[in-house]
Amino acid sequence: MERWTGRVALVTGASVGIGAAVARALVQHGMKVVGCARSVDKIEKLAAECQSAGYPGTLIPYKCDLSNEEEILSMFSAIRTLHQGVDVCINNAGLARPEPLLSGRTEGWRTMIDVNVMAVSICTREAYQSMKERNIDDGHIININSMNGHSVVPQSVVHFYSATKYAVTALTEGLRQELREARTHIRATCISPGLVETGFAFKLHDNDPERAAATYESIRCLKAEDMANAVIYVLSAPPHVQQRLICL
């Protein structure tokens, strides 16, 4: 990870769960991390904890609604002005709404598309352009996906969510191909975990906390720190190694 010391990483959805764990790990390894979310109170607290712990890197909170393209573009502009640009982009933010295919609300579907697909695509495009304009040829774009992006489980409330994660699988492979066509050494990786114990299920089943809790009691789940370790593993690979897909 030494080659990433002092360089800039963007982590979306950095306020809680996987995003917060990844942001902390990158700061521990000396990176300058821009952590974004709709609310930055928890990121500010995490930044203070990282500073108190004496970690060599820095966590910079940034408020951004990823369902709003103008806010995303404004964020990248601010990063360009204050920190030159993005060297690593970790598209972590994602959400699920309990909206089945036969009875779901269009609003819920659209929210999932906006955050899980459109925001990933916009951040990826802007991160690549940031790297390209600065002649950065060793950058990395990591998409935090899900095993729901590789198989459809028999649970109606996550079928549309699964469709958005299949999109992330396709987007990551398409990105890898376009990067190769552009003759760049910028890498693209998709990390697809199974069940990770975060607040995800409680947001999905926000009207049924018992069902949400039961989700994490059924099996031994991954922890957010396991995902952070996976990100460090990917970034630590030699420059000539392309890791297309990591499944946990």
Q: Is 215 helix (H, G, I), strand (E, B) or coil?
A: helix
Question: What's the DSSP call for residue 140?
Answer: E
Q: What angle do CA 64, 70, 75 make, to 5 degrees?
A: 45
- Active-site residue (options: 161, 166, 216, 233): 161
216 is catalytic: no
Dihedral (Cα; 151, 195, 141, 182), 10-degree rounding: -10
* DSSP β-bridge partners for residue 141: 89, 188
Measured CA to CA, the distance from residue 123 to residue 132 in angstroms comes to 14
Measured CA to CA, the distance from residue 151 to residue 237 in angstroms comes to 27
Measured CA to CA, the distance from residue 107 to residue 113 in angstroms comes to 10
Q: Which residues are catalytic?
A: 161
